[in-house]
């Protein structure tokens, strides 16, 4: 099959970054444990893939420390942060410096795989690593979900247009039912 996009030049990276910054996402911390040590990074490039089987994907930069640890461990946990956990987001993005113990912020437990799960996170998806797809600077890591944990009643932390944002300024998180558009 001929892909039409091949005939058209790509936009410049800066132009893409400017446009994609308008894409508001929830903020997650992806964690793993390897050789008795915990690793993790803040990520917004996270998406649900399928419910049957329960599968999620994350896009992780290959140059970071956590990437190779997830591949080695073969497991990871996606922690969806609440608004109250914005400090966790900043620490795991490296804003406190590379030397800081990221896991000193927040309270961490484990679910099924042993990857760190953040207490009070809006949701945690504990995963066994599945397919790894190379995409230039990043790998797309697919995770088969073997355990979850939810904390209801807390709004999730958002990130868009280069700022952390609050959900209640967009719409109320409470409700569901007939407004439940997922799946
Ligand atoms: C809001 C926000 C979203 C981010 N999303 C991603 C992401 O989806 N994937 C990624 O690889 N890095 C992402 N980063 C950057 C990493 O969190 C950052 O580079 C981190 O220090 C990497 O840690 P590591 O070297 O331990 O892997 C994001 C940073 C911020 C502030």
72-107 pLDDT, tens per residue? Answer: 999 999 999 999 999 999 999 999 898 899 999 999
Predicted structure pTM score: 0.91
Q: Which helix (H) or strand (E) holds 125?
A: strand 123-135
Q: Is 158 in the pocket of ligand 1 (CB under 6 A)?
A: no
Ligand 1 atom at shortest distance from the alpha carbon of 45: 8
Is-contact 129 117, C-beta < 8 A?
Answer: no
Q: Are strands 37-43 and 28-34 parallel, antiparallel or unpaired?
A: antiparallel
Q: Is 41 in the pocket of ligand 1 (CB under 6 A)?
A: yes
10 Cα to the center of ligand 1, angstroms: 24
Q: Ligand 1, from 57, 61, 65: best to mutate by most atoms within 8 Å of Cβ? A: 61
Would you say residue 12 lies in a domain? Answer: no
Would you say residue 11 lies in a domain? Answer: no
Q: Residues, the chain, total? A: 183
Quick one: average pLDDT of 48-76?
98
| Site of tokens 């591949």 | 71
Structurally, the chain folds into a number of domains equal to: 1
Q: How many helices (H) and strands (E) does the chain have?
A: 3, 12
Would you say residue 3 lies in a domain? Answer: no
Residue-range definition of the domain harbouring residue 31? 25-44+65-127+148-160
Quick one: average pLDDT of 132-155?
96
Would you say residue 72 lies in a domain? Answer: yes
> Which residue's C-alpha comes closest to atom 10 of ligand 1?
60
183 pLDDT tier (thresholds 50, 70, 90)? very low
**Domain containing 156 — which CATH number?**
2.30.110.10
Would you say residue 35 lies in a domain? Answer: yes
Would you say residue 122 lies in a domain? Answer: yes
Would you say residue 99 lies in a domain? Answer: yes
Would you say residue 133 lies in a domain? Answer: no
Q: Is 94 in the pocket of ligand 1 (CB under 6 A)?
A: yes
């Amino acid at each position: 099959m001929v892909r039409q996009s091949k005939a058209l030049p790509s936009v410049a990276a800066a132009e893409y970054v400017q446009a994609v910054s308008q894409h508001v996402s929830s903020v997650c911390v992806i964690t793993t444990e390897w050789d008795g040590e915990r690793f993790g990074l803040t990520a917004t490039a996270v998406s649900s893939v399928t419910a049957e089987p329960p599968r999620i994907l994350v896009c992780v930069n290959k140059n970071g420390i956590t990437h190779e640890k997830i591949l080695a461990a073969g497991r990871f946990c996606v922690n969806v942060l609440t608004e109250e956990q914005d400090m966790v987001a900043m620490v795991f993005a490296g804003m406190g410096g590379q030397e800081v113990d990221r896991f000193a912020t927040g309270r961490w437990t484990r679910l099924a795989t042993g990857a760190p799960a953040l207490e009070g996170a809006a949701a945690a998806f504990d995963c066994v690593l599945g397919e790894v797809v190379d995409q230039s600077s990043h790998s797309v890591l697919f995770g088969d979900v073997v355990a979850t944990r939810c904390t209801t009643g807390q709004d999730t932390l958002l990130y868009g247009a280069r700022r952390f944002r609050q959900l209640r300024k967009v719409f109320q998180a409470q409700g569901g039912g007939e407004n439940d558009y997922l799946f």
